[in-house]
Amino acid sequence: MENPKHPNVILFGIDSLRSDHMSLHGYHRLTTPHIDKFAMSGTAFMHHFSPSIPTTPGFASMLTGMDCFGTDVVALRHQGSIQADATLAEILREHGYRTTCVGFTGNPSSRGFDNYLDYEAWKPDETWHCPKAGNVNDVTIPELRRLAQGEEPFFLFIRHMDPHSPYLPPAPFERLFYGGNEKDPDNHSLDPVFNFKPFADFFKSWIPQGCTDRHYVDAQYDGAIAYMDASIGNILAELDTLGLAQDTLVVVTSDHGETLYEHGCFYDHHGLYECTLTVPLVFRLPGRVPESRRVSSYTLIQDVTPTILELLDIETGLPFNGRSLVPLMAGEPRVPEPEFYITECTWMRKHGWRTPEWKLIRALEPDFHGLPEVELYNLVTDPLELNNVADLEPDVVLLLTRRMEAHIAKREREVGRPNPMVTNLNWHGYGTGPFESSEQAYNTLHINSIAVARSLQAKEVPSDSNDG
């Protein structure tokens, strides 16, 4: 007797979606009604973290089941391949899956797909908006129909870009959450945004001319999420129409969050603050994943691949250091994940240690915001991370630093390589080595347009990105 066909897999890998701006997570705006409804038929993990930001290391961990030591990837502009034994696409292809990747061509984290489809996710149209999710559907829905006709199961990975700046949702979503006057001359809240030299030209290339209100830009982020949510609803409806919903594992998650008007890290995803580390994670597979379940335990992005494989009953023997979340779905106890290592190599090179109570951030070189070398936040009394208490709590800084260093030493021994945070010295792509001062970093790092921001997703920095 032949083995039954494995379930299909659709993985929505949404770029830059912070969980606290989703109505699924209690946000006051109804930004994700379709995902909310979808989650009612599955299991949502309410405290899910992406410890290594930004995109390249985040997706590397998501798609391999390994942390940054296992992938050797910590930088956006990673040079070379990832070090993991296999990606999720490679594993599923070996088990008879047809695999398609939408919107992530050329990144080392997208290794192993049969087909790569692209769409416009950056340039505005004649209305000065960009229907990113609509463009996704234009290529994804025909591909879903094609895959549905095959005998073998399929794996469809979809990278949405709507919550990634520039935030350009089309009508009516651009004003869905904003009814004010974005060009009020008495409003100066965007002054610090346009005065931040490294990003000022980029912001001016997509924020409407004359805009003065930062709440308008925040509303564009929320509107982009709502537009994307509606478009995801189209894909889920097509899955129903094709009669595949009962036989398809659908996962909704993100590679990292986003900073809006916070911490001086305007409309980007650098800074190891909660808004960049917390992301959604929802699984649905009828008959296998419990319905209407909410799990409060801490989970990490490297748990995604092991969980998918267990839900598919695929054993690999690979030494993932992420853990399957299937036991948590069933309400079974497991050793918790109370503290973990955090890293960033986007526009700053920093690492740290997060516990339920404390967040330690240590700079490995001067940053372009002129922040102190050591930051410490009490996440219980200061959840918005507004008060750096490193000078007031030296014993806590020492304790967390020692725990972080012990973890680094342990993982270095296990993988047989040094911490990638200390070897990726050209993380910014400029060939200068580590910055020696905040002034040098401030005067070196520069994005001058949407086109340059788009090119930074590749491995090389274009020559015109450093003209300021």
Q: Helices 214-241 and 33-40 meet at what angle, rounded to 10?
A: 40
Asked if the structure places residue 379 within a domain, the reply is yes
Claim to verify: residue 390 and residue 449 sit in the same structural domain: yes
Q: Token digits for 429?
A: 């792509």
Claim to verify: residue 346 and residue 228 sit in the same structural domain: no
Claim to verify: residue 325 and residue 344 sit in the same structural domain: no
Claim to verify: residue 163 and residue 307 sit in the same structural domain: yes
Claim to verify: residue 316 and residue 400 sit in the same structural domain: no
| pLDDT of the residue at 431 | 86
| pLDDT of the residue at 457 | 62
Claim to verify: residue 18 and residue 145 sit in the same structural domain: yes
Claim to verify: residue 223 and residue 306 sit in the same structural domain: yes
Claim to verify: residue 324 and residue 363 sit in the same structural domain: no
pTM, entire model: 0.94
Of 297, 329, 361, which residue constitutes the final position of a domain?
329
Claim to verify: residue 233 and residue 260 sit in the same structural domain: yes
Q: How many domains does the chain have?
A: 2
Q: Residue 249, exposed/middle/buried by CB under 10 A (0-12, 13-18, 19+)?
A: buried
Q: Token digits for 171?
A: 């009508």
Each residue's pLDDT tens digit, 354-399: 999 999 999 999 999 999 999 999 999 999 999 999 999 999 999 9
Q: Give the whole-number percent of the chain exceeding pLDDT 90.
A: 85
Of 303, 329, 355, which residue constitutes the final position of a domain?
329
Asked if the structure places residue 2 within a domain, the reply is no
Asked if the structure places residue 334 within a domain, the reply is no
Asked if the structure places residue 335 within a domain, the reply is no
Domain region containing 359 = 340-466
Q: Helices 132-148 and 214-241 meet at what angle, rounded to 10?
A: 10
Report whether 270 contacts 53 (CB < 8 A). Answer: yes
Claim to verify: residue 259 and residue 317 sit in the same structural domain: yes
Of 276, 304, 329, which residue constitutes the final position of a domain?
329
Claim to verify: residue 359 and residue 289 sit in the same structural domain: no
Asked if the structure places residue 12 within a domain, the reply is yes
| pLDDT of the residue at 416 | 96
Q: Is the pLDDT of residue 168 over 60?
A: yes
**CATH code for the domain of 400:** 3.30.1120.10
Q: Token digits for 358?
A: 């404390």
